[in-house]
Every structure is written in structure tokens, then in C-alpha cells.
Amino acid sequence: MKLIVRTFFFSLLLVTSLKKESAAQAQGVRWTSDGKAYLSVNREAIVQTAVISGQEKTLVSKEQLTPAGATKPLTVAGFAFSSDSATVLIFTNTARVWRYNTRGDYYLLNRKTGQLRQVGKGQPGQSLLYAKISPDGTKVAYVSKNNLFVEDIATEKTTPLTTDGTRKRINGTFDWAYEEEFGCRDGFRWSPDSKQIAYWQVDASTIRDYLMLNTTDSVYSRVVPVEYPKVGESPSPARIGVVPATGGATLWLAIPGDPQQHYLVRMEWFPNTNELIIQQLNRKQNRSILFVAQASDGSVAPIHEETSTTWIDTKESWNRGNPSGWEWLDGGKSFIWVSEKDGWRHLYQLSRDGKKETLLTPGAFDIATISAIDEKNRYIYFIASPNQPTQRYLYRTKMEGKGKLERISPASETGTHSYDIAPGGQFAQHSFNSHQVPLKTEWVRLSDNQVIRTVPRPSPAAQTPRNVEFFTVKTSDGITLDGWIRKPVAFDSTKKYPVVFYVYGEPASTTTNDVFSAGSNAQFDGDMAKAGYCYVALDNRGTPTLKGAAWRKAIYRQIGRINVRDQAMGAKKLFEQRAYLDTSRVAVWGWSGGGSTTLQLLFQYPEIYKTGIAIAAVGNQLFYDNIYQERYMGLPQENREDFVAGSPITYAKNLRGNLLYIHGTGDDNVHYSNAEVLINELIKHNKQFQVMPYPNRTHSISEGEGTTKHLRTLYTNYLLRYCPPGPR
């Protein structure tokens, strides 16, 4: 139920020999191994750019990227160099799988001979996923139609490593739920010696299909099945096997436990060994076990275990949505581990056998993400904000566990920073923005934050700062909420203005980050401040902000209740403190989880919220997927009453205000059945409302000619009519 307010575009970046990165990494600088230059696609060529001078060197020309007989070069969505840089793997002609463009065609370029040829020519076009060159540069492996293949680069001989793949038996990649909720997409790993491949197999054969209906593309309707494990249903069993790269039988690892009651969320090879490390979560996701597995015989041994009274987050939650990779130290003798077991998200160094553990970041603060590990100088860099959870800064600390923090981000720049640090820690790409400062990107020397080069900004006309005020408000329950407010143009404190609340409120996202987009509303056709609205956002308990585990985990088994009360009590306190807010003109809107929160506020607190626009909302928590809902709510077999008490449909009978409900009928995430059961409940109680279905549109409601404009017009007209703007 992750927040989507616009279409998400995904450019698949593959592993290069110049910097070891995850194949699923969707962002980041492609650094050279010495950290003094980076790679990119520029003017239809692959170029290397020096950090200091900005001088470009063409590595792969436009001509080299043009197939024989073609009139134009390939459109490069991703690329990877072999270990000796002699071969380049090109990802092109991409297509979307669920949310991201991870499927397409691949080409190999021999830089010496200039030969450019397609990989997997025997497979259907645009069907290859996650192709990767072997560490020794002799082979390329890929997934097609849920089977795993290896192609010899020199001979072009293709060897199928699996042959049992079907829509519901998935080799080398994942089903919908694993991808959506754990960020798992690329499901295979080359061994360091290039002789074997370890891969996931997900068996969705016992998972029932949710049947979407396409009624517009032909005169007869067409059923679109999606294997989708609803909350309360056992997960798709997954297992991990090791297969020779030359083909043969798969050796399945002897991971203990019922595979229908566990998840396998991470797997990587130890450096330069024949061993793997695997993270297993139980179905409730409150117990994590790390196993070391032997690829020679399939045996496994546990080395680390952690439990929680709520849930345990996985790497995708603190690594920009990407669970791949492992932060190795000492050549694989130890590694970095992230845990909230002391109440804060901290970094630990664990020995390979799990017996020695060193806390690297002691203190009452959370790390947000790991930025870099400088093992030579014994520093670890990370993003945190110990004093202001709505902001982000780069810190570093020595890896001895003494806990002394050193802030790297400039003291003069208050807001949100991000860094992509080069190998060796000498240079970085630095980005900064705040509610007052448009996004700027620059290349810096990390030691003193000296700017080396800047990246041109968009035109100034599109970068006008909004008049946004950040604040905190303490509710009658004693809960302090972060928030922002954007006031109308020509604001007069003696007048009364309508207020529109933007909400999310669930554990997947926050709304009050100190970024330049704060105070903007992409759904409103125009400028809300010029129209005469006060626009407000609050973050309640349970949102994933840097306030400690107790704040984030307070929502456990309480979605639809504690978050909704925090929002409502925050609004009431604002009305007490700010007399210019017109309590007769109060609107609220949100998308996905925010749509659900919008419904809850309208239904549970109709005396506060008079108008609501809910987009792609979950109407009944029992209709959503098991991984997300069971992580935060438990198992309905044990506490079904919490799911009922937390679902908007339970309170629909209380609607008194104006409701616009919007949903795509082709939403494979929050299914359209959520809309229909809610509509039925409202009809049952003679509640009048407006509904807008978008035929065959997904969760983003972005597909099809005119869709985005239509949605903005609908949203804007409804708000203008039922929550009229301007002072009174």
C-alpha cells in the first residue's frame, strides 16, 4: 500500500566491474574503481566523466551502439562492463513488470571487434530480466518466462538451468508480493568463481488468483489473473538452490522451517568462497535468522537471531527500496548489520560466525541509510538527523564503536541532503534541497565539502520557493506531531481560510520531510495558495520517521485507529491555535494508504472533516496482501478484530460530509474490489457520494491518453465546489 501520487519511472542499473552495485539499484552514480570519474549515458553514447575537470571520454560510441542494418542506436536503459572491460552488456527496449521497467532486450558489445549482438535471441522479444555477466566475463545469465538461462559469450551456446518455470513457478525472480513488499526482484546471484548460480524459486501454485477484468480492449471482456496472497493466506513457499553454470541438477539448500510460514528476503555469496548467507523471516516478520549455507552439500547453520514484539524491517526499508547486496568487511570475515533492538535504528559490526557484535552508532538517534564504508580509514558514513526528524544530513563515525559522530553536511544548509560517495571517500555527488531551497546537485570533495562542479538547475520559473512554515503541534494525548502549512497568498490573519489536509499516515511513507516539494499539490490544477487555501500535512505515530522504534512501531495492530486519532487530534489542536483556519471548510485527501486514512477521517471524525478525496484506498484491510498487512497488523486468525476495527468499511455508515472516491479498475496492488465493497456499504446506509472508476488503470492511475489531466480536473473541481477557497 505504498504511496503513489504519480507515475514512477525505473531505469535499471546493472552491476559494473568498476563499482560493485546491486542489479536492482534504481539510482546512484556509476563510479570508476579509483573514484575519480563516473560513467553515464550521454548523447546516445556511454561516457566517462572526470569529477574534477568534467572532461568526457567516450567509452562506447553511438556508432557502436547501432545494430547492423539499423538506422539509429539502441536506447540504453542500463549497461554493465565485464571484469576486464572488454565486453559491455546493454539493456534496452524495456517494459514494465508491475511497477518497474525490469523486462526487455539485452545486447553484448565486443569492444575490440565492435560486434554487437543480441542476447537470448531464441527467447521471445522483450522477455529477458536481470541479465548479468559472470565475474570471469565468459558468460551471461538471465531470466526469461520464469526460467533461468546461461549463454556462453564466445560460442553463443545457451544452456537452460531450469525448465519448470510457469506463471506460478517462478525461477530467478519473484511474485507480486515479494516484489512489492520486500523489494525483491532480481532473484539470482553468480558465485565468485563463476561456476555456479544461486537462485530463488517461488512456488505460487497454491496462491489464489485475483481476477482483474479488462472490459475495454475488445468487445468481449478479458480476465487478467494475478497471483496475490491476501492477508490471512499462507505465503508462497520459496526456496534457494545452487545450480552449475554449465547446467545440471539444482542442489536445494536445507533451510529449516515450513516454507509456507517463512520468507527468504536476502541471499548473497560470501566473498571468494563457496558459501552463502541468507536471511529468513517468519510469517509474522518478528523473528529474523541469518544462516550460512554450504553450496557443496546444501547444509545450513544459523549464526544470528533477532526477535521483536512488533516487526523487523528488512534492508529495502533503509536502502532506498533495494534489498540486494551485503556490506562486507575484512574480506568477508565480518559485515555491517542494522537493528532496532535497543529502540533506535543502529549500525552493528557482526563477525562472520555471529558471535562478536560491536555497536557502531550508540546514542538516542536513528540512522536513515548507509552511504559508504571507508574500510581503509575505518569510517562508516550514513544519513541521520539526531535533532530534527524531518531533515537529513551526512554523518560519519569511526568503526571502533566509540560513538563519536562527525557531521559532514555543511552547517549552513538546513534541510535534506543526500550523497553518493565515490570509492575511497575522496569525492561525492551531493544533492541538497529544503522547503526554501530548490534541489541543487554538485560534485564535492568530501573532506571539506568544497564544491568542484555544479549541475545546472531547471529553469528558475519552475523553481519558485513556496511560503511553507514547518511546525510541531502537541495533541491532547500528549503526542507531538511534525507538520507544515502553506498559507494563501496575501494572507490576512483576521480572515478565515479553508484548510486542506494532505495525509498518508501508514508505515510506508511520511509527508512532512523538509524538501522543496513540501506544500505543493500535483493533483490541484493551479496554485492552492493563490486560490486561497491553507494546505497542511501532519505525520502521526507509525510513520517511518527518525523518532525511534517506539514511534514507528506504535501503530502495530493499530492501523486505522492510532494514526487516525493522531491526525484528528492534531487538526483539533491546530484549530485551537490558529483562529484563521475555517472549521466549516475542512478537506482531506490522500492516495493509497493516504486514501484509506482519508476515508477513516471522514467516517470516524465527521465533525472535523467535511470533504474528502480518497484515491486508490484500501476499504477493507482483509482485502490487502499478506506481507504488508500481517507485518503491521498480525495474523487475522489470531486478532481479526483489529483488522475489522481498522478498516474504513466498518465506519462508512458515519459519513456526513462530501466524499469523492477514485480507483483504477486495473489496480493490481489495491484491488478494485476495495472500492466496490465500500460502495456497497455506503449504499446500504443511503450515503450519497461521488465515485470515479478509471478503466484498466493501475495503482498510479497514469495510463491512457488524457488520464492525468482528467484526474487533476476532477480533483480540482470537486475541491473548489465542496471546499470553496478564499478568505471570509
List pLDDT tens digits, range 605-621: 999 999 999 999 999 99
pLDDT at 98: 86
> For residue 722, what is its C-alpha cell?
465542496
User: What distances in angstroms separate CA 415 from CA 372, 388, 434, 515, one per listed residue?
Assistant: 21, 9, 5, 7
Residue 458 has pLDDT above 90, yes or no: no
> For residue 79, what is its C-alpha cell?
549497461
Strand partners, 664: 694
Residue 461 has pLDDT above 60, yes or no: no
Residue 257 has pLDDT above 60, yes or no: yes
pLDDT at 459: 65
Q: Which residue has the cell 539448500?
A: 253
Residue 13 has pLDDT above 50, yes or no: no
List pLDDT tens digits, range 539-580: 999 999 999 999 999 999 999 999 999 999 999 999 999 999
Confidence of residue 465 (pLDDT cuts 50, 70, 90): confident
pLDDT at 144: 98
**Residues 527 and 716: beta-carbon distance below 8 Å:** no
**Residues 138 and 154: beta-carbon distance below 8 Å:** yes
Instruction: Say which CATH superfamily domain 468-722 falls into.
Output: Alpha/Beta hydrolase fold, catalytic domain (3.40.50.1820)
What CATH architecture does domain 17-159 belong to? 7 Propeller (2.130)
Confidence of residue 679 (pLDDT cuts 50, 70, 90): very high
Parallel, antiparallel or unpaired: strands 78-81 and 56-60: unpaired
Mean pLDDT of 336-364: 96
Burial of 355 (0-12, 13-18, 19+ CB in 10 A): exposed
Q: Which of 96, 86, 22 is nearest to 59 (CA)?
A: 86
Q: Which CATH class is domain 161-326?
A: mainly beta
List pLDDT tens digits, range 49-104: 999 999 999 999 999 999 999 999 999 999 999 999 999 999 999 999 988 899 99
Q: Which of 342, 371, 376 is nearest to 359 (CA)?
A: 342
Residue 20 has pLDDT above 60, yes or no: no
pLDDT at 182: 95
**Residues 405 and 367: beta-carbon distance below 8 Å:** no
Confidence of residue 10 (pLDDT cuts 50, 70, 90): very low
> For residue 218, what is its C-alpha cell?
475488445
List pLDDT tens digits, range 166-211: 999 999 999 999 999 999 999 999 999 999 999 999 999 999 999 9
User: What distances in angstroms separate CA 495 from CA 487, 492, 532, 568, one per listed residue?
Assistant: 12, 6, 11, 23
Rounded to the nearest angstrom, the gap between the alpha carbon of residue 47 and the centroid of all alpha carbons in its chain is 28
| DSSP tag of 466 | P
Residue 529 has pLDDT above 60, yes or no: yes
Q: Where are the beta strands (DSSP E) in 494-646?
A: 497-502, 534-539, 581-591, 611-615
d(C-alpha 189, C-alpha 23), whole Å: 10
List pLDDT tens digits, range 128-149: 999 999 999 999 999 999 999 9
Q: Which of 342, 273, 340 is nearest to 311 (CA)?
A: 340
Q: In what order do the strands lie in the sheet with 450-455?
A: 416-421, 427-433, 440-445, 450-455
pLDDT at 2: 53
> For residue 14, what is its C-alpha cell?
546493472
Confidence of residue 706 (pLDDT cuts 50, 70, 90): very high
Mean pLDDT of 319-347: 95
pLDDT at 557: 98
For residue 420, the SS3 value is strand
Confidence of residue 425 (pLDDT cuts 50, 70, 90): very high
Q: Which of 614, 477, 590 is nearest to 538 (CA)?
A: 590
Q: How many residues does the chain have?
A: 728
d(C-alpha 688, C-alpha 684), whole Å: 11
Residue 151's identity, in one-letter code, is E
**Residues 473 and 480: beta-carbon distance below 8 Å:** yes
The CB-side HSE value for 84 (13 A sphere, CA atoms) comes to 8
Strand partners, 200: 240
| DSSP tag of 261 | G
Q: What is the largest CA-CA distance in the chain?
A: 80
Q: Which of 717, 723, 725 is nearest to 525 (CA)?
A: 717
Numbers of helices and strands, H then E, in the chain: 9, 43
pLDDT at 4: 35
d(C-alpha 271, C-alpha 618), whole Å: 43
Q: Which residue has the cell 518497474?
A: 100
Mean pLDDT of 310-330: 94
The CB-side HSE value for 619 (13 A sphere, CA atoms) comes to 20
**Residues 123 and 201: beta-carbon distance below 8 Å:** no
**Residues 622 and 647: beta-carbon distance below 8 Å:** yes
d(C-alpha 339, C-alpha 518), whole Å: 30
Quick one: what percent of the chain has pLDDT higher than 70?
A: 95
Residue 5 has pLDDT above 90, yes or no: no
**Residues 159 and 215: beta-carbon distance below 8 Å:** no
Q: Which of 321, 322, 331 is nearest to 351 (CA)?
A: 331
- DSSP codes joined into one string, 610-676: -EEEEES--S-GGGSBHHHHHHHH--HHHHHHHHHHT-GGGGGGG--SEEEEEEETT-SSS-THHHH
d(C-alpha 435, C-alpha 157), whole Å: 55
Whether the model pTM is above 0.75: yes
Fold of 353-456: Neuraminidase (2.120.10)
Asked which of 264-273, 399-408, 518-527 is least confident by mean pLDDT, the reply is 399-408
Name the residue ranges covered by the structural domains of the chain: 17-159, 161-326, 353-456, 468-722
d(C-alpha 660, C-alpha 699), whole Å: 17
Q: Which of 511, 466, 472 is nearest to 489 (CA)?
A: 466
Burial of 382 (0-12, 13-18, 19+ CB in 10 A): buried
Residue 256 has pLDDT above 80, yes or no: yes
d(C-alpha 554, C-alpha 543), whole Å: 9
Mean pLDDT of 428-447: 95
Residues with Cβ < 8 Å from 722, sequence gap 6 or more? 587, 610, 611, 658
Confidence of residue 43 (pLDDT cuts 50, 70, 90): confident
Residue 27 has pLDDT above 60, yes or no: no
> Residue 96, Cβ neighbours under 10 Å: how many?
15
Mean pLDDT of 351-365: 96
Quick one: what percent of the chain has pLDDT higher than 90?
A: 92
Confidence of residue 265 (pLDDT cuts 50, 70, 90): very high
Domains 161-326 and 468-722 share a fold: no
Strand partners, 580: none
Q: Which of 401, 396, 389, 434 is nearest to 539 (CA)?
A: 389
Mean pLDDT of 405-431: 95
List pLDDT tens digits, range 208-246: 999 999 999 999 999 999 999 999 999 999 999 999 999
Residue 481 has pLDDT above 50, yes or no: yes
Residue 476 has pLDDT above 90, yes or no: yes
